[in-house]
A and B are shown apart, each in its own frame.
Chain A
Amino acid sequence: MDVRFSPEQAALRDSVAQVAARLGPKTVADLDDAERVAKLDAAVDASGWREVRTAGDGGTPWASGVEAAIVAEQLGRAVADVSFIGPTLAAELRRLIGAEPATATETVVLAADLGGLGDRVAFDAAGASVALALHNDALVEAGLADPLPAVDITRTSASVAIPRASIGNLTDDDLDRWTALGLALVSADLVGVMGGAVEITCEYAKERHQYGVAIGSFQAVQHLLADAFVSMEGARSIALHAAWAVDALPPADALAAAAAAKAYCARAGRAVCETAIQVHGGIGNTWECLAHVFLRRALVSIDVLGGEGSNLARVLAHRGIGGA
């Protein structure tokens, strides 16, 4: 057992963090800066990060779930407003069924509640023209129709046009493996979102003065932030294991590991982002404050492939306990 990042993994983490820090949004107003968004998208495109799960030699992906999760966490931390998880999961679907890699940017279609692969909502659809959907038990390509009103203002969803012809079928093991990767990536995104939310909130608590002192000097505020930080660290540990498990464990075990991580990250993610808003006080309840951008992104990541309830049920089912 040695779960330290390899030098290459540490370098990947640092380069994603650098790109996201340089080109990601620093303020809510930055979200409307189309030129910046285009530069960020071009940088992510040039990096090849969205292709890490395309098939290499013998059908194995270019990089493991750990590398994909490293990218997802750093993009989440900066609330980077470009697609990543959607295209990565589309590439994984093509890899699993042995189809040729996509020629244009594509994403995946989820059920209306985002709880699983489906045929209703194209998730993380920025820049995508096509999306892979599960329609009548077959994997199909679908065109994208209209953008949907955004819960998360850093990632785009779209409605789906009439699905086209089938491109293949997923076995149960394929679907478990794919769901494990998806849960590991949204868990990593939530870890990143928590990290970013804790950072901006600690900064604010050091700057904001009331009663003549920084509010971060009050024990009541300190304990909120300490709990947020500790929750994020626990989430990071279980999410890291899930990312490793994607390729290292049999599909059913990988899915159980990912579900445990997602249940933990879903619960912690919402609580930490709510703390960010609370500590920002009145400012935190205004649109201009970044805190709600983190919370909104968390809300979508929580729902993708199921939140606490459905993932606890997966964990219990893996131990032979139904009905949760």
Chain B
Amino acid sequence: MDFADSPAEAEFRERLRTWLAENNPGLPASSTDDAYWAGQAAWHQSLYNAGFFGLSWPAEIGGHGLPSVYDVILDEELAAAGTPPRPSLGYLVQGILEHGSGDIQRRFLPGIVNGRDRWCQGFSEPDAGSDLASLRTRADRDGDDFVITGHKVWTSYSDDADWCLLLARTDHDVPKHKGISAFAVPMRQPGIEQRPLKMINGITKEFGEVTFDGARVPAINMIGEPGEGWPLAMTVVSHEREPGELGYVARYRKAVKDLAAKVTAASDAFSLEQVRALGWAIVETEMLRHHVSRRLSDRLDGVTHGPDGSVDKLLMTWTEQAVGHAAVAVGGAAHDGGDDTWLRMYLYSRAQSVMGGTSQIQRNLVARRILGLPA
């Protein structure tokens, strides 16, 4: 049992650190900044070309076939170097790998991995949030195509996307979970309109809503069999629940380190209450880091994604929100019109207990599937 780097991991970390020292793109270290998006594709391709992207994915699709711990090392070193995080595409890759045909995999995975194509995820709808299976966007067969009609919302990065991983109803005569199919829909076509949504922290980059009115998708772009969109959706959301996949731990550690530096620079200016909020953020972040180590180690035995993802998602949420509380306690709420970076971080942390399945849904899953409590 060892939390430290193995010799091979230490060698990788050193090699990465050396590369980063010379190849830092100088972009904002936040995926919600407009300047980040202007340079995002180049950053992705630079990581990919240097052999530092897709570390845990199979070699056949452009990955490196390494254990997931290498992704964590990458996340840690990117955060330490102050670069943007790695593009978060594991959900797409796993969904297509597990559910897509060989043809679908060959056509779409390389462009995702090497950074040529950008994707968004068309799952949630105005009337289908937690109850995703009640979605109403429809895909109707018309010759070699399906015609899409419907409304998706809370769609991240839809404005920049070339493709959408879309869930739509293809069969209206079966129970709601059985009538959904998944598609790779080209976004740049008439019949698709994209509108940004402003989040509570003021940013307009991340969230969008998308309307489909007669948009077309070739039938050969269906991922999985007709009516098998739901299992794909479950693969994708379970991926979105894993802190090890998302690289958030490294970002929380960076935020906590910056907040600690603020306090050490002027320790007399901070009350006991403010400092304790920082203390809890440090403790929660350390917990999550070690929890990720535990989960990634378990995976070396081939343990796959199960209900444990709900435990991980709740721990990640508690951590992000503790960091958010420290951010607003120590960083301040910018009442004097000053820098509102920390306020925005706090406000963004409120989304973590909603996105990827609310904390209430996760608790239901823990209670039923892990604790065996009755329905």
**A residues at B contact (CB < 8 Å):** 1-6, 9, 66, 198, 202, 205-206, 213-214, 216-217, 219, 221-223, 225-227, 229-230, 233-238, 240-241, 244-245, 248, 257, 260, 263-264, 312-313, 315-316, 319-324
Taking CB atoms, residues of chain A closer than 8 Å to B370 are: 229
Could you tell me if B311 and A324 are in contact, using CB atoms closer than 8 angstroms? no
Alpha-carbon distance between A206 and B372 when the two chains are bound, in angstroms:
9
The stretch from B4-12, B86-94, B120-128 touching chain A is B4-12
The yes or no answer to B260 lying at the interface (CB within 8 A) is: yes
Q: Interface 1/0s, chain B 321-362, versus A by CB < 8 A?
A: 000000000000000000000000000000000000000101
Among the interface residues A9, A66, A260, which one has the most CB atoms of the partner chain B within 10 A? A260
Among the interface residues B2, B6, B69, B279, which one has the most CB atoms of the partner chain A within 10 A? B279
The yes or no answer to B47 lying at the interface (CB within 8 A) is: no
Alpha-carbon distance between A23 and B153 when the two chains are bound, in angstroms:
57
The yes or no answer to B371 lying at the interface (CB within 8 A) is: yes
Alpha-carbon distance between A244 and B283 when the two chains are bound, in angstroms:
17
Alpha-carbon distance between A6 and B1 when the two chains are bound, in angstroms:
6
The stretch from B107-115, B173-181, B234-242, B290-298 touching chain A is B290-298
> When A and B form their complex, which 10 residue pairs have the shortest distance between CB atoms, in order from nearest?
A222-B367, A237-B291, A312-B279, A226-B363, A226-B366, A241-B290, A216-B373, A238-B287, A217-B374, A3-B297
Could you tell me if B297 and A1 are in contact, using CB atoms closer than 8 angstroms? yes
Given contacts A225-B367, A230-B366, contact A321 B283 (CB under 8 A): no
Could you tell me if B367 and A223 are in contact, using CB atoms closer than 8 angstroms? yes
**Shortest Cβ distance from residue B303 to the other chain A in the assembled complex, whole angstroms:** 10
* Among A2, A202, A234, contact of B371 (Cβ-Cβ < 8 Å): A202
Given contacts A323-B272, A324-B275, contact A4 B291 (CB under 8 A): no
* Among A219, A222, A226, A237, contact of B287 (Cβ-Cβ < 8 Å): A237
Could you tell me if B360 and A223 are in contact, using CB atoms closer than 8 angstroms? yes
Taking CB atoms, residues of chain B closer than 8 Å to A217 are: 373-375
The yes or no answer to B148 lying at the interface (CB within 8 A) is: no
Q: Interface 1/0s, chain B 255-272, versus A by CB < 8 A?
A: 000001001100100001
Tell me what chain A mostly uses at the interface: helix, strand, loop, or mixed: helix
**Shortest Cβ distance from residue B221 to the other chain A in the assembled complex, whole angstroms:** 39
Bin chain B's interface residue count.
35 or more
Taking CB atoms, residues of chain B closer than 8 Å to A319 are: 260, 264, 282
The yes or no answer to B36 lying at the interface (CB within 8 A) is: no
Taking CB atoms, residues of chain A closer than 8 Å to B374 are: 206, 213-214, 216-217
**Shortest Cβ distance from residue A245 to the other chain B in the assembled complex, whole angstroms:** 8
Taking CB atoms, residues of chain B closer than 8 Å to A322 are: 267
Question: Besides the contacts A4-B298, A235-B287, A263-B283, what 7 more A-B pairs have beta carbons closer than 8 Å?
Answer: A1-B4, A4-B297, A226-B362, A234-B291, A263-B280, A315-B279, A322-B267
Alpha-carbon distance between A237 and B244 when the two chains are bound, in angstroms:
14
Taking CB atoms, residues of chain B closer than 8 Å to A324 are: 272, 275-276, 279
Taking CB atoms, residues of chain A closer than 8 Å to B294 are: 3, 236-237, 240
Could you tell me if A229 and B311 are in contact, using CB atoms closer than 8 angstroms? yes
Could you tell me if A320 and B264 are in contact, using CB atoms closer than 8 angstroms? yes
Given contacts A205-B373, A219-B364, A226-B366, contact A240 B290 (CB under 8 A): yes
* Among A3, A225, A234, contact of B2 (Cβ-Cβ < 8 Å): A3
The yes or no answer to B315 lying at the interface (CB within 8 A) is: yes
Among the interface residues A213, A236, A248, A316, which one has the most CB atoms of the partner chain B within 10 A? A316
Given contacts A4-B300, A241-B290, contact A312 B6 (CB under 8 A): no
Could you tell me if B296 and A237 are in contact, using CB atoms closer than 8 angstroms? no
Show 27 A/B contacts (Cβ-Cβ < 8 Å), sorted by A: A1-B3, A1-B69, A1-B293, A2-B1, A2-B6, A3-B2, A3-B290, A3-B293, A3-B294, A206-B373, A217-B373, A222-B373, A226-B362, A226-B363, A226-B366, A227-B314, A229-B366, A233-B311, A237-B290, A238-B291, A241-B286, A248-B3, A248-B4, A312-B276, A316-B279, A321-B264, A323-B272
